[in-house]
């Protein structure tokens, strides 16, 4: 299985395979700013996140997965979403029987959509690009 990064506009780029994602999680395990990415599947893009990404560039310049993550995440405008693409299609393409894990993933996507909606509403009210 492979994973990609997206923002509220959609697909940004291919990130990693299962092994690469596990490696990335290990590399970022000591950096709690990224915990939401692993726990919720997304995190709001902010100056704090971009600063952390810049700091990571100095960490391991030889690691292709880490460098790919940094470059892709920097392209995300408002939210950084990690996905394997499952259920990105229309509702009628989902399987009829849904396991507990599938329900959890669906709930995760619903949380992501709520965060995106909240971000769009917040930026619309303030009339500028600002962090949540």
- The answer to whether residue 28 sits within a structural domain is yes
Is the pLDDT confidence value at 31 over 60?
Answer: yes
Domain that holds residue 104: 2-126
With respect to residue 6, please indicate whether it lies within any of the assigned structural domains. yes
pLDDT at 105 exceeding the cut of 70: no
Of the candidates 132, 1, 20, the residue with the CA atom closest to the CA atom of residue 69? 20
Whole-model pTM: value is 0.64
Residue scoring higher pLDDT (101 or 90): 101
pLDDT confidence band for 116 (50 / 70 / 90): confident
**d(C-alpha 93, C-alpha 71), whole Å:** 32
Sequence-ordered alpha helix ranges (H) in the chain: 18-28, 35-39, 47-57, 64-75, 100-126
With DSSP H G I counted as helix, E B as strand and the rest as coil, what are the percentages for the chain, rounded to 5? 55, 15, 30
Give the pLDDT of residue 98: 41
Residue 131 within a domain: no
Q: Is residue 132 part of a domain?
A: no
């Amino acid at each position: 299985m492979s994973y990609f990064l997206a923002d509220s506009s959609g697909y940004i780029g291919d990130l990693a395979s299962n092994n690469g994602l596990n490696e990335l999680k290990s590399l970022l395990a000591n950096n709690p700013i990224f915990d939401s990415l692993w726990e919720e599947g997304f995190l709001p893009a902010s100056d704090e996140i971009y600063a952390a990404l810049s700091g990571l560039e100095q960490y391991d310049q030889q690691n292709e997965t880490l460098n790919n993550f940094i470059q892709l995440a920097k392209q995300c405008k408002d939210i950084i979403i990690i996905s394997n693409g499952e259920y990105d299609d229309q509702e009628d393409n989902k399987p009829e029987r849904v396991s507990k894990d599938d329900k959890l993933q669906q709930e995760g996507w619903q949380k992501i959509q709520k965060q995106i909606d909240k971000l769009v509403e917040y930026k619309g009210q303030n009339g500028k690009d600002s962090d949540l």
